[in-house]
Amino acid sequence: MGLIPESKIAEIRDRTDIVAIIGEHVPLRRAGVNHLGLCPFHQEKSPSFNVSASKQFFYCFGCQKSGDVFRFLMELEGRTFVDVARDLARRAGVDIPEEAAEASPQRRAQRLQQESERARLLKLCELAARFYEAQLAEHERARQYIESRGISAEIRARFRLGYAPPAWDALIRAMAQRGVPHELAESAGLVLRKEGVAALPAGAPATAHTHYDRFRDRVMFPLLVPIIGAAARAAGATALGDVIAFGGRVLPEAHSEGAKYINSPETPLYKKGDNLYGLHAAREPIRQRRQVVLVEGNFDVLALHQHGFENTVAPMGTALTEAQIQKLSRLLAPDGHVVLMLDGDKAGRSATMKDIALFMFSQANLSDVALLSQRDVDVRVARLPDGEDPDTFAQRDREGLARCVRAAKPALDYVLDEAIAQAEHDSVAGKAKVLAKVAPLLKSLRNQTVQELHVDRLASSLGISTDLVWRHLQGVQIPSVAAITNAPTRSPAAAAPRAPAHPGTGAGAAPPQSGRPPLERPPQQLDRRPTTDRRPPPLERRPPSFDQRPPSVDRQSLLDRPPLD
């Protein structure tokens, strides 16, 4: 996708009425030359959100968010600058020039075909979701299982839970009645072609002789994505979201040879690692509370939403990815934070450690993301009691769960506590193992003061000098994000390798190796410093050059901070 010229950006801004755009989301009233309303980015009772029509600018005196119409829609809807700019350009009647490759007749035809295919796939996924919902209403066995998990009818409707019957061709028959082409059903990941059968004619519906349903005898969890922009206005306020994929959980007593959980394969609508389960219902609570609770499973999301933790999401059975982190960071305010709440067992704690590493390395290595978002991700860990998981704990002790969320530790404190508690303090090998384990996280810290405090704490806990810790950090190489996200996934549903997220933002993005100032503590300075003052000298702060950004990063992201008048 080519860059949008600055002249076109200025033209879009000049031809867009910021009061009208913001007024579609926030009730505004005139207050002198400006307009006033309740801020959509934080909770308030007295309006402090000001919009200036003459300056094409908004500012909140409560949370200090400000910007132009581009920034407003990016912050409110979590969209990229390019997406917002093209949407506003269509509304304002501004033509955005295309590069030669994009403007060719072949490329235009391909783009129109892709857009048409996406619309057809969305309709088919909606058809499948309604079919599964209707099947749930007819099968008492599936309803009883959902009720046994403590899920209310309201939550069931909000998340559009369904049931895939045990028949191998139940959905196939429903789609054949609607004349759905087999190519489209295969592309949506809803059916699988049998081996060794002759291909059907183009456009013919799938049959039980040639295909079989992917999901059978499973509780179905549609993946809903928020409807944003013009599509949201057309859908109306009651729309829950677009269905783009499904997850299925086999019933406990079912005799299935498959995994307990399976998800849709990658499709033109769905990329593994790009989406979060429950985000369609959690967007506004996350923005209002400035907090997101991240759990492991779909039932965890349902249980926490039912008990008032409506800012809860889950990563759809995969290890956490950079794309998911970016979605969350765009929704959180600068003072917002993420609470990792995973099972209180050894496996859950191991998954927590991997997610902490990914969050922290996303701040340290992908420096351009941090610069454009103008905030780091504050990660905390809620440690559940041993043997508990978020689902059952929420059902049994809501107040106890709330206390765990309030008492969530900063991520690095959690890492240090876990590492130190497991260390063999009396052995040199045990201390070296702890130091090697936490050193990459310490080095990835952007805040020098916080880094110094953690170094002092680690040295004190292990009974070693801070000089030794600093010398060790000098030789530490921060692992790439890909190395972290290639860790084993959490559930059988994620057994297949994950495809990388969007170029430059996914797990495959190469981290800039020189974008951070090095830890330099000359030996002569270490020897001359008194033992009572072992803080490191100030780090050299060098602004990253353009060449230091990962080569796979989309340069269009530099426009995510449009010049403000």
- pLDDT tens series, the chain, 565 aa: 457 888 888 889 888 889 988 988 888 888 888 999 999 888 788 899 999 988 899 999 988 889 999 999 888 877 778 878 888 888 888 887 665 445 556 665 565 555 578 888 999 999 999 999 999 999 999 999 999 999 999 999 999 999 999 999 999 999 999 999 999 999 999 999 999 888 889 889 999 999 999 999 999 999 998 765 444 444 444 467 899 999 999 998 766 667 889 999 999 999 888 899 999 999 889 988 889 999 988 999 999 999 999 999 998 876 777 778 878 877 786 678 889 886 655 555 555 555 555 454 443 332 322 222 234 578 888 888 888 889 999 999 999 999 999 999 887 788 788 777 766 666 888 888 888 878 877 887 777 888 899 899 888 888 889 999 998 888 876 554 444 444 444 443 433 333 333 333 333 333 333 333 444 443 433 343 444 444 444 444 444 443 343 444 443 443 344 444 4
Residue 137 is predicted with a pLDDT of 95
pLDDT for the residue numbered 277: 94
Sign of the C-alpha dihedral computed for residues 86, 328, 224 and 246 taken in this order: positive
Tokens of 276: 């979060």
One-letter amino acid at 357 equals A
Cα 292–chain centre separation? 10
Q: Classify burial at 27, counting beta carbons within 10 Å of its beta carbon; exposed 0-12, middle 13-18, buried 19 or more.
A: exposed
Strand 49-52 with 57-60, pairing: antiparallel
* Dihedral sign from CA coordinates of 446, 450, 452, 457: negative
Entry pTM: 0.66
CA distance 339 to 337: 7
Among candidate residues 292, 365, 299, 379, the one with its CA nearest the CA of residue 327:
292
What Å distances lie between residue 465 and 431, 438, 470, CA to CA?
12, 16, 9
User: Which residue type, as a one-letter code, is found at position 444?
Assistant: S
